[in-house]
Structures are given as structure tokens and as C-alpha cells.
Amino acid sequence: MRNLILLAILGMLSLAGCGQQAKPAFQSTDVTGAPIGGEFRLTGHDGKPRSLADFKGKVVVLFFGFTHCPDVCPTTMYELSEALKQLGDKAKDVQVLFVSVDPERDTPQLLGKYVPAFNPTFLGLTGSPAEIRAVADKYKIVYQKSAVAGSSNPANYTVDHSAGSYILDKDGQLRLFVNYGAGSKVFAHDLALLL
């Protein structure tokens, strides 16, 4: 009798596990459900108003940077362009958004030259300093101007900023945080899982 009860319990436990799906094996950090992010409205480098809702149905990569960045930004944008090449036809369902943390210098015209140079589908976003700050705060992005050593010109500055990227699923829900320098293969792998 005891063995029958044990077998019945094991049987129920194995059946209960049948309805559970295994979590995807992401290579970046799964932040699903974190109180980060949300809807926003900025201006695209094409001059059109854009909101996150405009990209529903696509997986969105959200990166905060600036066009005068010497290292982090071009490296990340290059990795994303390579990741989209690795995805092949699936790349049409991915939208990369580059949010400028330097709205004083990053005009729509400058973003329009810089961002699509990595991939013509990439979109640069800007707005007033207050609009950028509001979006950055939603996504817990830290940034600040920093004077260039040895320069007395106030227009000659850099911007220290958070270096990771966010990935949102097709429903616009924040899912992943990708550390700077993770590489194109990590982006491609995780984007493919969300596609």
C-alpha cells in the first residue's frame, strides 16, 4: 500500500511538471518583471514623433548613448549590426533604438548620419534635456557631462553613461539586460529566443 501511495504521488508530481515550460536559456541577464522601463515619447532622427508602442510586434533593443562617444557606443552599435546579420531574415522583426543622452549636440540630423551608418533600420531618438532625463530615469540610466581634461571650451565635453542595453519582447515588456562588451553572438542568441 505504501508503495502504491508513493507511486501515485510521483505520478502526480510528474504530471504537474508537464504543464510547465522551461525558461529560455538566455545568455544575458533576465530582468523580466523588474520595475524598470515603460512607455515613452521622443523624436526620431527622421523628425517623426516616436513612442515605444510604435514598435509593438517587434523585439526592441534599447541603448542609451551619444554620437561623440569614443568607445562604448560605436562598439555596441557595431555588435548590434553584426547580431542582425547573424539573424538573417529574422532581423526584420528587430528594432534597435539609440536614445541620445546628449540632446544638446545630438540633433536629429547628426543622429540621422550616425545611427543608420551601423544599419539602415536603426533609429536614433532625441528630445529636450527634460524628455531625455525622464526616459533615462524610467530605465535607471545614469549619465552626466564630464569636461575633457585640458580643455577650457565648455562645448568640449564627454558624457559618462550607463553602458548596457535593454531588450524588450514583441509585447513591449522589458525582458533582458545585456552588459557592455557581451558581443554580437550574445545579442543574436537572445534576440532569436525572443523572436
- The grid coordinates of residue 149 equal 581634461
Cβ density class 63-102: b for 16+ within 10 Å, e for less: bbbbbebeebbeebbebbbbbbeebeeebeebbbbbbbbb
18 carries a ligand binding annotation: no
- The grid coordinates of residue 1 equal 500500500
Which amino acid type is present at position 150? G
Structural element, H or E, at residue 161: strand 157-161
CA dihedral 73, 75, 81, 83 (to 10 degrees): -120
Which residue shows C-alpha cell 571650451? 153
Q: Which residues are annotated as a binding site?
A: 69, 73, 161
Q: Which residues are annotated as a binding site for Cu cation?
A: 69, 73, 161
